[in-house]
């Protein structure tokens, strides 16, 4: 994604600079597997380069963990960026509360895994 | 990938599973065996607190250092409304700082045991028990490693009756698939026991 000798990868830019020094999101519902998705064409709502990158990657549902992997940023930093974008209305999340799993979902998972 | 490509109002449920174990036990291989994509690497920021000696002034005495820990994870799309994520997580006690985030919302865990370093998963087993996260224990039998019976492993780790312990080979895709199925069947059994219909 970025050049090998970019300041980020040389460790010259601390990740939490991008979050204004915040180290935790105020949205506890954001987990590593939480899927986010851009709402229509809201890319103009991005205020920073990192927010723009999130929006460019979230054209289809993508998890915070995947964003973290593609952006080379810690999950906590991505969660903060995502929280800010939720505040602007640029994205939506696919679920909020911890999952109360249903039998039918488990059955579908078993069928899928068996087919591997 | 393709089933996730359309934007619409429907909700996709993402569920998380944890593959825990010590270094070199085969967590990434396990994740890769199940994942539909090459395992990705994410990192969690970690605050190392170097605690001071003065108990009365502990806060003032600590120094915080930030570093990151890498974790491999993979994804398996079940259907258009359900996606599974598998995270490989280090089982040793020094990584407990991130387990709260890790198991937040997780459905269950597979603990991989290397019989040469059983102690590498003590902390993970204790933690999952304390948090009541359902887990199963896969015992990796590496060539040349001392062989312990499953009962010996169960006793050494203090694994309760009702938690499956089985032999497996993380290098074998079918074996990983079967291990995950043991966990999923356990979840079904727990759910059915909780709400008899």
| Neighboring chain B residues of A92 at a CB cutoff of 8 Å | none
Which residues of A lie closer than 8 Å to B, measured between beta carbons?
14-16, 23, 31-35, 37-38, 40, 59-61, 63, 65-66, 68-70, 72-77, 94-95, 98-99, 101, 103, 105-110, 112-114, 116
Q: Which residues contact A14 (CB under 8 A, 6 or more apart)?
A: B66
List chain B residues with pLDDT less than 70: 1-9, 46-67, 93-95, 97, 144-146, 196-197
pLDDT at A59 over 50: yes
Q: What is the mean pLDDT of chain B?
A: 83
DSSP A74: B
Taking the C-alpha atoms of residue B121 and residue B26, their distance in angstroms, rounded to an integer, is 13
Closest partner residue to A106 (CB to CB) among B4, B47, B188 is B188
Query: How close, in Å, is residue B152 to chain A by CA atoms?
Result: 30
Strand partners, B64: B49
Taking the C-alpha atoms of residue B103 and residue B143, their distance in angstroms, rounded to an integer, is 32
Query: Which of B38, B42, B72, B182 to mutate to probe the A interface, most A CBs <10 Å?
Result: B42
Is the Cβ of B141 closer than 8 Å to some Cβ of chain A? no
pLDDT at B44: 77
Question: What residue of A is the nearest CA neighbor of B37?
Answer: A66
pLDDT at A13: 58
Please compute, for residue B91, the number of CA atoms within 13 A of its CA located in the half-sphere on the CB side.
29
Strand partners, B18: B87, B109
pTM of the model: 0.85
Give the tokens for residue B84: 């599974």
Contact A75, A32 (CB under 8 A): yes
Taking the C-alpha atoms of residue B133 and residue B142, their distance in angstroms, rounded to an integer, is 27
Q: Which residue has the tokens 């199963």?
A: B136
Closest partner residue to B180 (CB to CB) among A77, A107, A113 is A113
The verdict on a CB contact (< 8 Å) between B40 and A32 is no
Query: How close, in Å, is residue A64 to chain B by CA atoms?
Result: 9
Query: Which of A69, A77, A97, A114 to mutate to probe the B interface, most B CBs <10 Å?
Result: A69
Task: Give the total residue count for chain B.
Answer: 197
Query: Which of B6, B105, B172 to mutate to probe the A interface, most A CBs <10 Å?
Result: B105
The verdict on a CB contact (< 8 Å) between B181 and A110 is yes
Provide mean pLDDT across the span A4-23.
61
Q: Which residue has the tokens 């120094």?
A: B63
How many A-B residue pairs are in contact by the CB < 8 A criterion?
129
| Neighboring chain B residues of A103 at a CB cutoff of 8 Å | 188, 191-192
ipTM over 0.90: no
pLDDT at A1: 42
pLDDT at B43: 82
Give the tokens for residue B36: 């539909």
Q: Could you report the per-residue pLDDT of B9-52, keeping only the tens digit for each?
A: 678 999 999 999 988 889 999 999 999 999 999 987 766 555 54
Counting residues of chain B whose pLDDT is more than 90, the rounded percentage is 54
Query: Which of B45, B79, B172 to mutate to probe the A interface, most A CBs <10 Å?
Result: B45
């Amino acid at each position: 994604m970025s050049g090998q000798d970019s300041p980020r990868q040389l460790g010259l830019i601390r990740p939490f600079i991008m979050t204004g020094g915040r180290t935790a999101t105020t949205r506890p519902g954001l987990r590593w597997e939480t899927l986010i998705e851009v709402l229509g064409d809201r890319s103009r709502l991005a205020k920073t380069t990192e927010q723009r990158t999130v929006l460019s990657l979230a054209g289809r549902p993508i998890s915070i963990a995947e964003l973290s992997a593609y952006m080379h940023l810690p999950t906590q930093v991505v969660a903060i960026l995502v929280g800010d974008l939720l505040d602007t209305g640029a994205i939506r999340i696919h679920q909020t509360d911890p999952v109360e799993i249903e039998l039918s979902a488990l059955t579908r998972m078993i069928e899928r895994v068996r087919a591997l | 990938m393709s089933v996730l490509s359309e934007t619409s109002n429907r909700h996709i449920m993402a569920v998380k599973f944890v593959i825990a174990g010590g270094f070199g036990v085969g967590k990434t291989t396990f994740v890769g065996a199940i994942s539909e994509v090459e395992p990705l690497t994410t990192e969690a920021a970690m605050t190392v607190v170097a605690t001071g000696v003065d108990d009365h002034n502990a806060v003032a005495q600590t120094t915080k250092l930030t570093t990151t820990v890498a974790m491999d994870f993979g994804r398996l799309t079940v259907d258009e409304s359900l996606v599974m994520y598998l995270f490989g997580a280090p089982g040793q006690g020094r990584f407990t700082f991130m387990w709260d985030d890790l198991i937040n919302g997780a459905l269950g865990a597979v603990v991989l045991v290397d019989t040469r370093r059983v102690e590498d998963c003590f902390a993970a087993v204790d933690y999952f028990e304390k948090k009541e996260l359902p887990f199963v224990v896969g015992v990796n039998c590496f060539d040349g490693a001392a062989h312990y019976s499953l009962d010996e492993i169960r006793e050494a780790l203090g694994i309760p009756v009702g938690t499956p312990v089985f032999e497996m080979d993380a290098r074998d895709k079918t074996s990983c698939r079967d291990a995950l199925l043991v966990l999923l069947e356990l979840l079904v059994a727990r759910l059915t026991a909780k709400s008899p219909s």
